[in-house]
Structure 1
Amino acid sequence: MSSLGFSSGPASSGLQSHRIALLFNANKVYDREIVAGIGAYLGSTRAAWELFMEEDFRCRPENMAGWQGDGIIADFDDPDIATALTGIQCPVVAVGSSYADPAHYPAGIPYVATDNRQLVRCAFEHLMGAGLPRFAMYSTPPTPRNRWAQEREQAFNELLAETGAEGSLFRGSTTEAQSWQGAQQQLIDWLQQLPKPIGIIAVNDARARHILQACLSAEIPVPEAVAIIGIDNDPLTRTLSRIPLSSVIQGTDQMGRTAAHLLHRLLRGGREHAAPVLVAPSGIHVAASSQHRPLSNPYVMRARHYIRQYAAQGIKAEQVVDHLGIARSTLDAYFRKELGYTVHDEIMHTKLGRAQDLLRDGQLSCSRIAVQCGFTSLQYMHAVFRRELGCTPREYQQNLREERVASN
């Protein structure tokens, strides 16, 4: 067990210190970002909290039987946590999924929820805006621990009824090592029988990654035939996918801040917030997986699908035409007719877009980005940025920082 303090405590500030337990599985990106939002709230206030979390960041509600602290913020999407905290005497603030039926919220506990309807609507409208005529959702088999997925299914079905759009729902199988191959084959079979083009909303990024892998195995072009968007904006999932994944960004930071504010108010003698607080998504991380563009030529679709997978490995146009079994002049003619540029240009645009994404993340050096995006050298990447964008990679990054500052 460990205590993580975000404030200087009563000895230096003269403020009353409170012992607060955070019951989250901080090995999950969703929980971890909520915890970060709690920390951000504490860093912006004079609250003096001593924070408890399990040593390995996995919540073990059975350890709370002897808890004698002053307050708790907990993930109520885990039914074991909700059960363990029944009747506990200190103030509790719950964080979790939103529900269409108000009776599903815990009684008498302040509740901060991710707005499932808005998450799904955000993804749906993004795909609809790309001109896709039909939609599907890839969910997960229902269990007491994933009621959030069932809520997202319901929101998806309501949007289909509201818009009159064609739709399909597939839950697949649970993710287990011994059944993984069969589960992926089931997913491929479902994807192959869907009418194309189609936009698919995955209930989270893990399920979105399954779709990407299945499409790559079955050589289904993404996003020309199947456009994909997940929910969570999990950076780990992005690094595991050859084709960059679009994802709805949950308002986790705001959820953490709001939960901390509600508990802070209770500790100071304030009244409980009666109605659940619903937090809308904060936007979409748009990437190649959902950037659908209607195309009619199957060779162009297959070529772009191949390029998205291997552009960062430094492929040339010759490797693309060899893969398709077609003359380069013929493929270039198809590209010019459909897109107004050549196969070589498509490879370069893909590398450039990947480099822009990495510069936006700001985690890697320019030289490392050049290698990861398939440029032969840093100097060549500089030349491409100058030619296509009129600036160097560093200038591009600086412009992004200035835009963020201006927008705030």
Structure 2
Amino acid sequence: MTRATASQTSHRIALLFNANKVYDREIIAGIGHYLRSTRVAWDLFLEEDFRCRLAGIERFEGDGIIADFDDPAVAEALQGSPLPVVAVGSSYEDSAQYPTALPYIATDNKKLVSLAWTHLIGAGLPHLAMYSLPVALENRWAQERERAFQALAHTEDMDAPIYRGLATSAPSWNQAIEQLSAWLHALPKPVGVIAVTDARARHLLQACLMHGIAVPEQVAIIGIDNDPLTRTLARIPLSSVIQGTAEMGKTAAHLLHQMLGGARFPGRRILVPPVGINVLESTKHEPLSSPHVMRARHFIRQYACQGIKTEQVADYVGVSRSSLEEYFRRELHCTVHQEILRHKLDAAKAMLASHNASNAEVAIRCGFTSLQYMYAVFRRELDCTPREYQDSVKPPSPSASSATRAACTSNS
């Protein structure tokens, strides 16, 4: 069969993923991107609710499968499958953990953890720790990230503890948060904590907010996955390592496409590195000497967009307004109001960059008293209007010049 003929032949392909996880969703999106960018004609089978159900998979009358092998049940169900299978999952230090007869596309755990580690060290944090998951077969990828973290700590001769905590469940939730809070309180400060997922990063943030631990002054938090849903649930925006999941999906689809044409890749392993880091407030650590400023900024990060005033910040900190203003001038060289306004402006810029809201909605949700006031702030601080800023951060077209795209953002 020629390559041209193979690319035009329709094949029935099963995708075995649980798309309630952003990791799986983005791999599926990468597969879709490959299909759109080629002449491949695949009839894709996924459950209607995008969950992976294995009952009857051995009777699937198809031509190939791409599957999440981080799930032990999936790996077991596809063992000995007569169909071409491409496995996707975690990287492993022990090569015996990989399936021997299948091609395997892996996220590079060492590079994921190394990127987070380097970011926290670069932020000036003298202590590091990791928040992981309980040991279980389905959490083997988390234990691999632990090993990568321990190796870095050994190389740097650093005491960097790992806390696994409890698995998430409704009955144990309060106990889990209390135990996590106790662990956080016991860590030397300031400390940077790498969470093995964004979901675990959110747990860390919740524990810090419940117990008055300033983020990121005392505890800086970085997750892995860059999950937009998690960001919407966090009062302080969480930094996160961006996995190369789309590339993993495209690579897996490319391999299966070749296998459908007769190629075989038994035991082939491809490690895909992370894309980078989405740096947000949770790791923007600035060493501060005043506990009053740390506490004030912790409050401002959470509530700036709710229209708080300087007096409310001073009440939260427990000092007079004049004293707090003096602490801010000494530490940050700005007023409390200016710090509140900076957070509101950052939030507005992020919303405008997402292109999902009108200017009026942005003004309301970011705590500006009116649309006109937001316009005035943008003019004063960025030398452009909100609309001009939004246009400047649009994805560039091939013909757009970099100078034009940077006109407004250079001022921010």
User: TM-score, normalized by length of structure 1?
Assistant: 0.94
Equivalent residue number for residue 349 of structure 1: 342
Q: Is the 8 A contact 2:13 2:64 kept in 1?
A: yes
Equivalent in 180, 184, 188 of residue 191 of structure 1: 184
Q: 1:404 offset after TM fit, Å?
A: 8.0
Residue in 2 that maps onto 1:256: 249
- 1:273 Cα shift? 6.2
Distance 2:192 2:7 in 1: 56
- Write the deviation string for residues 312-338 of structure 1: whole angstroms up to 9, x where unpaired: 111011110111221111111111111
In the alignment of these two chains, the number of paired residues is: 397
| Structure 1: gaps (5+ residues) | 1-9
Q: Give the conservation status (yes or no) of the 8 Å contact 2:7–2:40.
A: no
Match of 2:408 in 1: none
- 1:87 pairs with 59, 80, 97, which one? 80
Structure 2 gap segments, 5+ residues each: 406-412
Question: 1:372 aligns to what?
Answer: 365
Secondary structure of 1:62's counterpart equals: coil
| Counterpart position of 1:120 | 113
Deviation at 1:403, TM superposition (A): 5.8
Query: Would you say the 8 A contact 1:262–1:273 is kept in 2?
Result: no
Amino acid at match of 1:120: V
- Cα deviations across residues 199-242 of structure 1 (Å, max 9, x unaligned)? 00000000000000000011000000000000011111100010
1:42-61 aligned at under 5 Å gives the runs 42-61=35-54
Aligned equivalents of 1:183, 1:113: Cα separation in 2: 31
- Give 1:103's match in structure 2, choosing from 85, 96, 99: 96
Tell me how far 1:249 sits from its aligned partner: 0.7
Question: Which contiguous aligned blocks of 4+ residues in structure 1 show a shift greater than 6 angstroms?
Answer: none
**Over aligned residue pairs, what C-alpha RMSD do you find?**
1.7
Q: What is the identity, as a one-letter code, of the residue corresponding to 1:142?
A: V
Partners in 2 of 1:404 and 1:133 — Cα distance?
42
- Percentage of matched positions with identical amino acids: 62
Per the alignment, residue 169 of structure 1 pairs with 162
Aligned-pair distance for 1:358?
1.9
Instruction: Determine which of 116, 129, 152 is the counterpart of 1:136.
Output: 129
The alignment status of 1:33 with 2:26, answered yes or no, reads yes
Letter in 2 for 1:53: L
Pick aligned residue for 2:389 from 377, 389, 396: 396
- One-letter code aligned to 1:220: I
Which moves more between the two structures, 56-65 or 230-239? 56-65
Find the partner of 1:331 among 310, 324, 333: 324
Deviation at 1:165, TM superposition (A): 2.8
Q: What is the CA–CA distance in structure 1 between the aligned matches of 2:125 and 2:252, rounded to whole Å?
A: 38
1:294 and 2:299 matched? no
Check the 8 A contact 1:98/1:148 in 2, yes or no.
Answer: yes
The alpha carbon displacement at 1:166 in A equals: 3.1
What is the TM-score of this pair, normalised by structure 2?
0.93
Q: Is 26-35 or 13-22 further displaced after alignment?
A: 13-22
1: CA distance, partners of 2:82 / 2:151: 39
Cα distance in 2 between the residues matched to 1:399 and 1:261: 35
- TM-fit CA distance, 1:61: 1.4
Matching residue of 1:363: 356
8 A contact 2:198–2:227 mirrored in 1: yes
Q: Which amino acid aligns with 1:362?
A: H
In structure 2, the partner of 1:3 is none
Amino acid at match of 1:342: T
Q: Report the Cα distance in structure 2 between the residues aligned to 1:88 and 1:69, rounded to whole angstroms.
A: 11
Amino acid in the other structure paired with 2:317? L
The answer to whether the aligner puts 1:244 opposite 2:244 as a matched pair is no
SS across alignment from 1:21: strand
Contact 2:100 2:267 in 1 (8 A): no
Q: Is the 1:133–1:166 Cα contact (8 Å) retained in structure 2?
A: no
Change (3 A) 1:399 1:273: farther
Q: Is the 8 A contact 1:37 1:252 kept in 2?
A: yes
Task: Give the CA deviation at 1:353.
Answer: 1.1
Aligned match of 1:228 = 221
Query: 2-side partners of 1:193 and 1:90: how far apart?
Result: 52
Q: What is the CA-CA distance between 1:361 and the residue it aligns to?
A: 2.4
Q: Alignment partner of 2:220: what SS?
A: strand
- Counterpart contact for 1:247–1:286, Cα < 8 Å: yes
State which drifts further: 317-326 or 90-99.
Answer: 317-326
Which residue identity is paired with 1:249?
Answer: I
